[in-house]
């Protein structure tokens, strides 16, 4: 049985409307259970940006961490709330990653990666990344001080993956997947503009090629490269097409990506749909649609461990 957890945002939604939530999906049974509703989770509606709802998901022991735009939430496996924390340098958060007792958060608004100490329950470290041609000057700063970066959102860093070998990060305008080795940031793999969820996998990189409506694996061995088109629902099955005043919602928007097991990945898209792709055969195994509203888009996507 393949069970996944996914968060969704409702792009451009207005107060009084749904803003997404968190879902458990049994891909084998093709069943969906909503476990958190943005409107009833005691989360303040104000100040959440154009993409409402909950975003990146990560786990530490018996704790589920889920990010909102400017707040980190912790839940028990039954989705009772343990606590939440804010930081002035956390804005438009996207993906998060847990490693060695730390939650690393991609703060898109500040082109920054923040670190949250789980045991101490505090933000304690920040990495600001700039782009200067093919160089990426990086500055470590105290997220509790006043000398942090300005909110410029130049690279739109939307992904972070923490490993023993360092931090991998990427954004819509980063030019590719970057790597921080503890001293400097270098380009690890060049990628097309507009990517989401870039992450190292085997001898290559997995990513949502969002502008091309595809999810891809690019390998050092070109024979192993794979590309899967995002599922397309018939136009007469779509809803919410003319309800987005911000004009940011569209069908087939690719975001949300995780490895289920070796050779099998799960990818999200809008309207909220999750697909399983087989890297060995190059075929899409199945898709499950949670909503037909084009404003409702998958954001965080992980294998459910409990």
pTM of the model: 0.92
Look at 44 and 105; give whichever has higher pLDDT.
Answer: 105
Give 48's pLDDT tier (boundaries 50, 70, 90).
very low
Q: 53-79, pLDDT tens digit by residue?
A: 789 999 999 999 999 989 999 999 999
Residues 6 or more apart from 50 whose CB is under 8 A from it? 11, 12, 246, 248
Look at 273 and 38; give whichever has higher pLDDT.
Answer: 273
Cα dihedral: 268, 270, 275, 278 (round 10): -70
| Ranges assigned E (strand) in 30-156 | 31-37, 57-60, 63-67, 72-75, 81-85, 93-99, 102-107, 112-117, 122-129, 138-141
**How far apart, in whole angstroms, are the C-alpha atoms of residue 203 and residue 129?**
25
In this structure, what are the phi and psi dihedrals at residue 281, rounded to the nearest 5 degrees? -90, -20
CA 189 vs. chain centroid, Å, equals 19
Residues 6 or more apart from 221 whose CB is under 8 A from it? 203, 204
Contact call for residues 215 and 254 (beta carbons, < 8 A): yes
Average pLDDT, stretch 42-62? Answer: 70
Supply the mean pLDDT for the chain: 90
Report the candidate in 297, 301, 253, 303 with the shortest Cα–Cα distance to residue 53.
Answer: 297
Tokens of residue 306, six digits: 């409990």
The three-class DSSP label of residue 223 is: helix
Contact call for residues 108 and 91 (beta carbons, < 8 A): yes
Hey, what CATH topology would domain 3-303 get? Neuraminidase (2.120.10)
Count CA atoms closer than 13 A to 193's CA, side-chain side.
Answer: 3
Q: Can you give the residue ranges of every domain in the chain?
A: 3-303
Look at 241 and 225; give whichever has higher pLDDT.
Answer: 225
Q: 168-208, pLDDT tens digit by residue?
A: 999 999 999 999 999 999 999 999 999 999 999 999 999 99
Average pLDDT, stretch 142-150? Answer: 95
Would the pLDDT of 50 be above 50?
Answer: no
Give the percent of the chain with pLDDT over 70.
Answer: 89
- DSSP letter at 230 equals P
């Amino acid at each position: 049985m393949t069970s996944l957890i996914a968060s969704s945002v409702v792009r451009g939604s207005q107060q009084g409307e749904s803003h997404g939530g968190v879902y458990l999906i049994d891909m084998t049974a093709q069943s969906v259970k909503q476990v958190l509703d943005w409107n009833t989770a005691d989360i303040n509606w104000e100040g959440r940006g154009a993409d409402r709802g909950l975003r990146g998901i990560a786990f530490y022991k018996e704790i589920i961490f889920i990010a909102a735009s400017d707040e980190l939430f912790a839940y028990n496996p039954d989705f009772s709330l343990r606590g939440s924390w804010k930081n002035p340098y956390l804005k438009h958060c996207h993906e998060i990653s847990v490693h060695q007792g730390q939650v690393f958060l991609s703060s898109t608004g500040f082109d920054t990666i923040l670190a949250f100490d789980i045991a101490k329950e505090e933000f304690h470290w920040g990495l600001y990344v700039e782009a200067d041609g093919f160089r990426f000057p990086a500055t470590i700063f105290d997220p509790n001080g006043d000398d942090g970066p300005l909110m410029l959102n130049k690279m739109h860093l939307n992904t972070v993956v923490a490993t023993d070998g360092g931090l991998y990060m990427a954004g819509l305008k980063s030019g590719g997947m970057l790597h921080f080795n503890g001293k400097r940031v270098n380009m690890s793999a060049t990628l097309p503009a507009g990517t989401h969820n870039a992450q190292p996998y085997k001898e290559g990189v997995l990513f949502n090629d969002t502008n091309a409506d595809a999810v891809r694996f690019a390998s050092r061995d070109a024979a192993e490269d794979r590309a899967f088109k995002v599922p397309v629902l018939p136009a007469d099955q779509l809803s919410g097409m003319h309800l987005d005043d911000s004009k940011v919602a569209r069908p087939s928007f690719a975001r949300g990506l995780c490895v289920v097991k070796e050779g099998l990945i799960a990818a999200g898209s809008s309207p909220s749909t999750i697909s399983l792709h087989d890297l060995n055969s190059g075929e899409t195994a199945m898709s499950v649609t949670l909503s037909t509203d084009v404003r409702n888009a998958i954001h965080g996507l992980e294998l459910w461990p409990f």
